[in-house]
Amino acid sequence: MSHITGLLVVDAPASALNNSGKDEEARTDNAVAVKFIRTPEGRFPYVSAQAVRYWLRTSLATTEGWTSSPVFRETKVAYTDAEPTKYAEDDLFGYMRAASKSKDEGKAAKRAEIAAKSTPVSEDVGEVTRVSPLRVGTLVATAPIRITGDFGTMARAEGDPVPHEHQFYRGQLKAPLGIDLGAAGTFFDSKRVGYKNLDSNRIESAKKAGAIETKVRGFDALRLPIGTRRSRVAMLVRAIGRLEGGAKQTLHLTDTAPSVLALAVLKHGNQPFLRLFGEGDNGQTVFRDDVLEEALRVFQGDLVSDVYIGWAKGFLDSERRKLDTLLADTKRTAGRTVHVGHPREIAEAFAKVLESEASTAWFD
């Protein structure tokens, strides 16, 4: 039941990466507010986990070898093909697709149209659902931030100016992430919600792809060949290293690729790196070397891989020196090997390990 555990940190020098719509406190009717968490300490801007997952989906869509799942829509209901054998996206991002019971002629015609282009859900099952092996936390500021309001006008319009307002902020945002390696490429055939991954159509497809029948965590399952499973997870890890997305990029161009990326494989789904970055005395982001030292010691018996830390030069350089000092003392690392480099290099190195035969046991 090994899991990839990780932490990503994004630097937002002047950004509005996820917006909530109309700003009710603004002076104009067409003002846009950023998403934030209101606390007694102040406001913490954030990017929803759904948005981060969307960034990953779009980044992966251009990756050679990756298979994105088509999306279908019935009036107010939308879903992917929910075919994890054919589509790596359905495998690692999960899905929920139910057969509509509406007798409306128009909706029935639309369902028939979709059924002709997709993998329909067999009537004996009624629905297929899958818990996402990929887990992403909300990308939240490391400290409360004073949100800035900016305004402009439509300068090319004739007559009186047409004003508009929006918010943005400066800070660093962090989010935990995880990947359930045992669930990657493993499709359950159970009545339990989230584990009803397959119906007769999808079972047939999985077997044609070389999936073998097995028992996983007490449930009947079909598993794709290990090479396919390793390859799909490796592609996802590489995409995390080059994460790209965000709102208001035409006005506040922000590099959303991780400035820091920590990765390792654990025997379970805990998040030992969650508190590596926090708020300093003056509200600035600080690296907690004591948190890393404690994590390496406490989780020493649970870590089944080396630890990989990507840290881009130029990002919090004074804090980076704490990491270098810690790694120079083998007593503080509890004997663990810690690889350090640029986040993209670290993602690539970690992906290569996942692709190798040495990682096979992690996918059991």
Q: Give the pLDDT confidence of 116-144 residue by residue, as tens digits.
A: 778 888 877 889 999 999 999 999 999 99
Query: Cα separation of 66 and 88, whole Å?
Result: 6
CA dihedral 154, 155, 159, 161 (to 10 degrees): 60
Domain boundaries, the chain: 1-42+171-178+245-364, 49-137+186-223
The fraction of the chain above a pLDDT of 70, given in percent, is 94
Beta-carbon count within 10 A of 325 CB: 11
Is the per-residue pLDDT at 319 higher than 90?
yes
pLDDT attached to residue 100:
63
pLDDT attached to residue 125:
80
Give the residues across from 46 on adjacent strands. Answer: 140
Which of 31-35, 152-156, 252-256 is predicted most confidently? Answer: 252-256
Q: Residue 56 carries which DSSP code? A: H
Judged by average pLDDT, the poorest of 83-92, 144-153, 241-250, 312-321 is 144-153
- Local structure of 10: helix, strand or coil: strand
- Local structure of 167: helix, strand or coil: strand
Is the per-residue pLDDT at 36 higher than 80?
yes
Is the per-residue pLDDT at 29 higher than 80?
no
The mean pLDDT value for 255-274 works out to 97
pLDDT attached to residue 241:
97
Mean per-residue pLDDT of the chain: 92
pLDDT attached to residue 163:
74
Q: What confidence tier does 349 reach under pLDDT thresholds 50, 70, 90?
A: very high
pLDDT attached to residue 24:
59
Among 136, 173, 151, which Cα is nearest to 37's? 173
Residue with the larger pLDDT of the pair 124 and 95: 95
The mean pLDDT value for 272-281 works out to 95
The residue written with tokens 């996983």 in the block is 216
CA dihedral 100, 133, 9, 338 (to 10 degrees): -170
Q: What is the pLDDT of residues 299-309, one digit of tens each?
A: 999 999 999 99
pLDDT attached to residue 194:
82
pLDDT attached to residue 103:
64
The mean pLDDT value for 322-329 works out to 96
pLDDT attached to residue 114:
75
pLDDT attached to residue 67:
97
Query: Cα separation of 63 and 194, whole Å?
Result: 27
65 token code pair = 């070898």
Give the residues across from 21 on adjacent strands. Answer: 33
pLDDT attached to residue 55:
97
Q: What is the pLDDT of residues 226-235, one digit of tens each?
A: 999 999 999 9
Q: What is the pLDDT of residues 140-199, one digit of tens each?
A: 999 999 999 887 776 776 777 777 788 999 999 999 999 999 999 999 998 888 889 999
Query: Cα separation of 337 and 234, whole Å?
Result: 21
Q: What confidence tier does 83 reach under pLDDT thresholds 50, 70, 90?
A: very high
The mean pLDDT value for 320-324 works out to 97
pLDDT attached to residue 27:
58
Q: What is the pLDDT of residues 5-28, one digit of tens each?
A: 999 999 999 999 999 876 656 555
Q: What confidence tier does 239 reach under pLDDT thresholds 50, 70, 90?
A: very high
CA Rg value for the chain: 23
Q: What confidence tier does 74 reach under pLDDT thresholds 50, 70, 90?
A: confident
Is the per-residue pLDDT at 268 higher than 80?
yes
